[in-house]
Structure 1
Amino acid sequence: MTAKSNHDVRSPVNGPGADNGTLVEPHLQALIGYFLEHPQLALGAVFAAALLEALAVIGTVVPGSSIVFVGGMLVGLQALDPAWTAVAAVSGAVAGDSISFWLGRRHRDRIRALWPMKAYPALFDRGQAYFSKNGGKSVFLARFLGPLRAIVPVIAGMSGLPAPQFYVFNVLSALVWAAAHLAPGFLFGASLQLAGAVSSRLAVLVILVAGALWLVAWVVAFLHRQARPRIGGWRDRAVAWASTRSNSPARIVMSLFDPARAESKVLLVTALLLFGSIWLFLGVLEDVLSNDPLVQVDRRVYTMLQTLRTAWGDSVMVAITELGSAPVVISVIGAVSLWLAAKRCWRTLGYWLVAAGFAQLLVWTLKFTLGRARPTEIYSGIDPFSFPSGHAAMNIVVYGFLAFLLARAKPVGTKIATTMSAAMVIALVAFSRLYLGAHWFSDVLASLSLGLAWVALLSIAYLNHVRHEKVSALPLSMVVGMTLALVGGWVVGEYHHADLAQYAYRPRSDTVPVADWRAEGWRGLASARTDLGGDAEEPFSVQWAGPAEDVGGVLKRAGWHVPPPWDAKTALLWLLPNTPIDQLAVLPKLDHGEAQGMTFMKALNADERIVLRLWPSPYVVDNVGAGPPRPLWIGMATIERLRHPAGLITLAVTEHDFTTPLRRLAQDVRAQQGSAHLRERTGRVVLLVW
């Protein structure tokens, strides 16, 4: 065991803000540490943000709410005092409205001519209309109404609202407004304290998925917003060109894009999608066949996503890929077919079946013609080929053509909602194939472009040949939704466990003789829990060679026990400030994205406990004839101290004293078995148990 495992990292880093524990990321620790040293600056920022947001006109451009939210987050992270933060937010909001009120009271109608108020006449008109309708209570209500919050107090002063009445509404609204922004920030900050125990790998995955979905929604909305005004012009220019010619291309253009046809714009869009998708597919195919740079991108994307894999991420992505699997897609095809037959939409039914059938035939033809190997042998003997992705292709064809049928001749809002819904489903399924390592990036990109080209071609043909069959969007959507819920739920429930094993990431496992491990080999294991970016967290101070049942038996005899499991009840107990420490579940922590495999705890007093977290290492220890090889576990013993910020919830903060809990653990283990020894490594103590 001379080579270090892939978990090996640098020595632990304890940045600023260390007394907050290691429950947040290093860059956030530095920010918290700065505000712990300079809380006046943070409180001043909260006060100024609340004041400026309520100030006449200026409040329309100052993001005061966001800054107050950040203040609440810092309270949740225990970097700011909750009482003083609330005072700063409330007093700033009251002061801002008061300044605006007295400006209006002093200058009356002359204020309209002052800078910067004179640049916003329409805003004054809206504010006066709102104040005329609601009277004094508009001071309270406008605090929560965007641009009006910065102008209604001015209007109240101009209108002669009595000062006592104004201040009643002003103070009440400031209290509610501050609570509405500080409380979510506080909960978010507290959740960061909890989530900081988890690797940022999961956070990066969530950000990637959320970002991809946001990008899909943005692209759909952007294309609709930007392309729609131009489509008419493109169509008119194409028709003007064709009207001066009598060749075949001109006749095709006139037949498709004649402005007299209500669907000429839709035909133009689908034609552009058709040519663009074909161009993209052929480009990807050329790169794959010639081993161009796109293949290098494939490997980088594959490696990056495999480093992001976690047990939780695997479970979610396997469920998504199951919802896009053949049984579910075939059931959706069948359900839609039955509905179309019942409605006697025979032509539409024919297009629907041709769409799915030809797409599947094309995918299999390309797979066995090109014979490209998958990144990993997931489907050996069943479907060993990778290009293109059947999941991605079938989902974009089925849900893409379905979205076309549902959105045809519907209002613009329905079209956008339908397109976005289909795009979200397709994007999630496609991403799941990349995440699980079932396909290369180019496989999925080619499948999406090929499927989109086929949907566009079918749509053009459908618009030209099927004009009298109308598809009712709501009932067909309900049929599809019920089919997805019933069949998808059954598939996930029936096959999820087996699919998790099939798609599991399988790192290598090495064997090391017990003597080598006890002598120097233990130094080759990771020295600390490591996050995605390579940042070291708590030191790994325990290495234990033995089956899980033996480890648990030794610890239970020494007074340790397995903490309560995470469920709805134990999660709610964290919201109570006086929950006994034995009843609180232990928060998971991740090393390279993986949660600990075993967890034990021992209470020291009402507010402190020792927690032992152990991860399976990539090694097994060979006893050299003295029994079967033993799995080698690696982990850490830490002291967790309960804190109750503002007496509202419970937080468990990890102490930086890692030696005391380790020596307590060593003492307990030695009392049950003698094979436990402490070793020194770079100023840290490591406990070896076998």
Structure 2
Amino acid sequence: MHALLDYIALHPTGALLAVFLVAFAESIVLVGTLVPAGVAMFAAGALIGAGALDLWVTLGIAALGAIGGDGLSYEAGRRWNTQIRAWGPLARRTALLERGEQFVRDHGGKSILFARFIAPVRAIVPFLAGTASMPRLRFYLVNIGSALVWSPTHILPGVLFGASLQVARAVSGRIAALLLLIVALAWFVAWLARLAARGGAPVLRNWRDALLRWASRSPASCARLRRYVRAVIDPSRPDSRTLLFWILVLGGGSLMFLLTARGAVTAHWFTGIDMSVLNRLQALRTWPADQAMVAITEMGGVRMRVLVVATMALWFLLRGCRRTMRYWLALALATEATIRALGLLIDRPAPLGLPAGLEHVSFPSGHATSSIILYGFLAYLLGRNAGPYARATLAACATAGVVLIGVSRLYLGAYWLSDVVAGWSIGLVWLALAVILYTRRKVREDIHPRALAGTLAVVLVAGIAWVFTTRSASDLALYTPPLRVQAITQDQWTDAAWRKLPAYRLELRAHRDERFLLQWADSASDVERALQGEGWLPAPAWSVRSALTWLLPSTDVRDLPVLPRYDQGSNAALTYIRPDRDGHGRMVLRLWRSDYVLVAPGRPREIPVWYGAFYDERFAQPGHLFLLGLTRNLQDPAQVPPLLPPGLRLLPRPGPRADVLLALPAQNP
């Protein structure tokens, strides 16, 4: 990725030409429907955020391309209207032309502006404006204005994403990879939902018609089954589509659970998948991501489940929705009973050996099972009488929460992938059963969905804040592998043990990112005292106020907090800065604490051994909107001694590619 960004920064003409051509082709009649302009503009914005392209130049090039594409389509429509309409590919798309003509008739000159942002008509409206002989002055005024709005609308989100990804990558490649994984997963779920919505409805109708034909021709011995089929899927009956959908979910969930349970217990290939997913997610762990995942996982924990179930039951009781309350409590009890029963039946150890107990039943995942049942049923109740957009929003929110809870359990090593999939499967079964019974019994109680949604949001936010503030330390300790500190002598360190300390900053597995050229044995206070004599300053602490200074291009480099960096998921324990004389950059020293301490007979004090690296940090200003730190790791050992205090005792040791400097303690341990 860095090589690609460096190449584009050195040769921006090609990237800008691609931006122009995409923006230009998007508005060409018929061709524009095949051009992924939104994706291309977002990618261009990401390159801007990464510092490879200039913001204002890219915005201008994209706007010029859009103006030229619309202008060409308009002029072609004015001059070659008949010939283009008779062109084979366009002649076969009369529906597209009719839609565009109606759009122009409805909106007039504003259609040029609207078409920029509406995919089905964006490539045809400028052409039709030309065929309708719209005045040139009117057209080009709207054309230029709409292009100036369209360009930043499509590019600026990419700028923010590229900058955040660059910052995440600068902080930790693991965080960047985890961010990309979550974005890709969200995109996949959204794509799958759209695919199911578009292709699933015709399939459901065909299956329904086939079942109804079978019911009309079935023998008399199947009269009871025939009546049941008609009662459930007859389109003339209310809620028939809902019942048919959830019956299919019930069947699909049951089949998926059986396959997952069999694969998890007997199939070696499924075990291999479990191990692969666990190892890859463990390789992405960092301390801030651990905190975020612990907060997310609490949404599906026992304490949050009890809080949500009790609060919603009280809400239904106070609103007089007693039948809904009984369904809700029965579903919650069935959920917990299923989790415990299957956990006892399939006694499976957790991946990281978490202690057995109420929260640590491995198969199926209690978090995955309960989250899909409880939050899914609440989403169904809230969207039952809502419009399509509200139902889609509720479904998306519930799905995102369920998926994030499952991913958090995998990330923290609490469950195997098969545990989570099995939890989702059995959860779908119980959710489908509850919805089918609730619908068949025709429960029509008014649950006051808007007020209920607000109450649920308050309960979730307050509950997560309460649980996280009271349990975060213990939960983080539960999911964090213990560290082992080894005591050695100074001679053992200088002779051989120094080779066992990390030589590179490790981010993703088997990825050597930056060299560690310094190992320093001394207490933290002695290290700070020695560095301050050479102009080094402790890095500013992170806070809301200090973080906002990154948004001010005029901020002094002394006031900017240093972006954290992680080695094998751990942040640097000591961070110092030394500003350059010109004020445009600074040197950064990051020190990580190793697993070794130096000891000596008769001396009770243990001296920690640190390892670290120097970074030359320069600052860019993309579009003069914010600061972006560009960091270079020092690779030459000869550059290190001038940066350290002159009285420090340095002992060079030959490394595989460069020398490593050992800074001996001020007093022998």
Alignment of 1:628-643 (within 5 A): 628-643=605-620
State the shift of 1:585 in Å. 1.5
State the shift of 1:172 in Å. 4.2
Structure 1 position 317 matched with structure 2 position 293: yes
Q: Which moved more, 1:589-598 or 1:155-164?
A: 155-164
Which residue matches 1:13? none
Which residue matches 1:245? 221
Change (3 A) 1:240 1:199: farther
Which residue matches 1:607? 584
CA distance in 2, matches of 1:277, 1:590: 40
State the shift of 1:627 in Å. 3.8
Structure 1 position 676 matched with structure 2 position 653: no
Alignment of 1:343-422 (within 5 A): 343-379=319-355, 385-408=361-384, 412-422=388-398
Structure 1 position 654 matched with structure 2 position 628: no
State the shift of 1:530 in Å. 2.5
State the shift of 1:482 in Å. 2.9
Q: Which moved more, 1:602-611 or 1:541-550?
A: 541-550
Change (3 A) 1:527 1:63: same
Structure 1 position 59 matched with structure 2 position 36: no
Alignment of 1:464-479 (within 5 A): 464-465=440-441, 467=443, 469=445, 471-479=447-455
Change (3 A) 1:675 1:233: farther
2:306 pairs, out of 318, 330, 338, with: 330
Conservation of the 8 A alpha-carbon contact between 1:49 and 1:62 = yes
Change (3 A) 1:198 1:91: same
Change (3 A) 1:157 1:345: closer
Change (3 A) 1:192 1:431: closer
Which residue matches 1:10? none
Which AA in structure 2 matches 1:57? L
Please list the CA deviations of residues 478-527 of structure 1 after superposition, one character each: whole Å capped at 9, or x if unmatched.
Answer: 33333223333322232223322222243554444432221232223322
Which AA in structure 2 matches 1:675? R
Which residue matches 1:483? 459
Which residue matches 2:22? 49
CA distance in 2, matches of 1:101, 1:264: 49
CA distance in 2, matches of 1:472, 1:60: 43
Structure 1 position 616 matched with structure 2 position 593: yes
Which residue matches 1:5? none
CA distance in 2, matches of 1:638, 1:611: 5
Which residue matches 1:566? 542
Structure 2: segments with no counterpart, 5+ residues:
none
Which residue matches 2:504? 528
State the shift of 1:267 in Å. 3.7
Change (3 A) 1:338 1:582: same
Which AA in structure 1 matches 2:167? L
Which AA in structure 2 matches 1:663? P
Structure 1 position 665 matched with structure 2 position 639: no
State the shift of 1:598 in Å. 2.2
Conservation of the 8 A alpha-carbon contact between 1:199 and 1:532 = no
Q: Percent sequence identity over matched residues?
A: 36
Conservation of the 8 A alpha-carbon contact between 2:165 and 2:176 = no
Change (3 A) 1:403 1:231: farther
Which AA in structure 2 matches 1:319? A
Please list the CA deviations of residues 202-249 of structure 1 after superposition, one character each: whole Å capped at 9, or x if unmatched.
Answer: 122223334444444444554454054345225415634656324876
Conservation of the 8 A alpha-carbon contact between 2:301 and 2:359 = no
CA distance in 2, matches of 1:160, 1:400: 53
State the shift of 1:395 in Å. 2.5
Conservation of the 8 A alpha-carbon contact between 1:607 and 1:642 = yes
Which residue matches 1:113? 86
CA distance in 2, matches of 1:261, 1:216: 31
Q: Which moved more, 1:180-189 or 1:518-527?
A: 180-189
Q: Is the partner of 1:320 in helix, strand or coil?
A: helix
Please list the CA deviations of residues 265-290 of structure 1 after superposition, one character each: whole Å capped at 9, or x if unmatched.
Answer: 44444444334433433444444444
CA distance in 1, matches of 2:221, 2:577: 84
2:284 pairs, out of 308, 312, 315, with: 308
State the shift of 1:197 in Å. 0.9
Please list the CA deviations of residues 341-400 of structure 1 after superposition, one character each: whole Å capped at 9, or x if unmatched.
Answer: 234443333332222223323322333444332222433576664233332233333233
How many residues are paired up?
Answer: 659
Alignment of 1:577-616 (within 5 A): 577-605=553-581, 606-616=583-593
Which AA in structure 1 matches 2:176? A
Structure 1 position 446 matched with structure 2 position 419: no
Which residue matches 1:21? none
Which AA in structure 2 matches 1:62? V
Q: Is the partner of 2:171 in helix, strand or coil?
A: coil
CA distance in 1, matches of 2:11, 2:476: 49
State the shift of 1:431 in Å. 2.2
Conservation of the 8 A alpha-carbon contact between 2:516 and 2:611 = yes
State the shift of 1:636 in Å. 0.6
Q: CA RMSD in A?
A: 3.5
Conservation of the 8 A alpha-carbon contact between 1:680 and 1:686 = yes
Conservation of the 8 A alpha-carbon contact between 1:590 and 1:596 = yes
Which AA in structure 2 matches 1:600? Y
State the shift of 1:319 in Å. 0.6
CA distance in 1, matches of 2:361, 2:515: 43
Structure 1: segments with no counterpart, 5+ residues:
1-27
Conservation of the 8 A alpha-carbon contact between 1:513 and 1:624 = no
Conservation of the 8 A alpha-carbon contact between 2:249 and 2:429 = yes
Q: Is the partner of 2:653 in helix, strand or coil?
A: strand
Which residue matches 2:4? 31
Which AA in structure 2 matches 1:664? P
CA distance in 1, matches of 2:111, 2:394: 39
Q: Which moved more, 1:331-340 or 1:472-481?
A: 472-481
Change (3 A) 1:438 1:645: closer
Which AA in structure 1 matches 2:532? K
2:77 pairs, out of 89, 104, 117, with: 104
Alignment of 1:192-271 (within 5 A): 192-225=165-198, 226-227=200-201, 228-233=204-209, 235-237=211-213, 239-240=215-216, 244-246=220-222, 253=229, 261-271=237-247
Which residue matches 1:456? 432
